[in-house]
């Protein structure tokens, strides 16, 4: 199952409307260095065990540094029934560009 992506401009719109949950799947040291305000840190390795922290009634946007881990996380979530999940295209590198 492939994972749809979302571009930075769309993510900013969701943040403005506060209608999406942002899941950051990087490691804690990466998150502490910089992150999107309001995002929830759930490292990729912990994701299968922390699904109860993810809201099913919102769009879910998964982010990481470059887009690889977020794509993996997105696929895992979609396989588990979180069908409104997308991955940030280009990761946080595109966010700060």
Largest CA distance in the chain: 32
Catalytic residue among 6, 64, 73, 74: 64
Q: How far apart are the C-alpha atoms of 78 and 36, rounded to whole Å? A: 22
For residues 91 and 63, is the Cβ–Cβ distance under 8 A?
yes
Catalytic site residue 64? yes
Give the active site residues.
Answer: 64
């Amino acid at each position: 199952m492939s994972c749809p992506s979302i571009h930075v401009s769309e993510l900013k719109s969701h943040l403005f409307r506060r209608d999406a949950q942002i899941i950051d799947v990087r490691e804690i040291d990466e998150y502490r260095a910089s992150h999107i305000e309001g995002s929830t840190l759930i490292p990729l390795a912990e994701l299968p065990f922390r699904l109860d922290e993810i809201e099913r009634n919102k769009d879910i946007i998964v982010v990481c540094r470059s887009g690889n881990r977020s794509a993996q996380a997105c696929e895992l979530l979609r396989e588990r029934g979180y069908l409104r999940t997308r991955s940030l295209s280009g990761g946080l590198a595109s966010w700060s560009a």
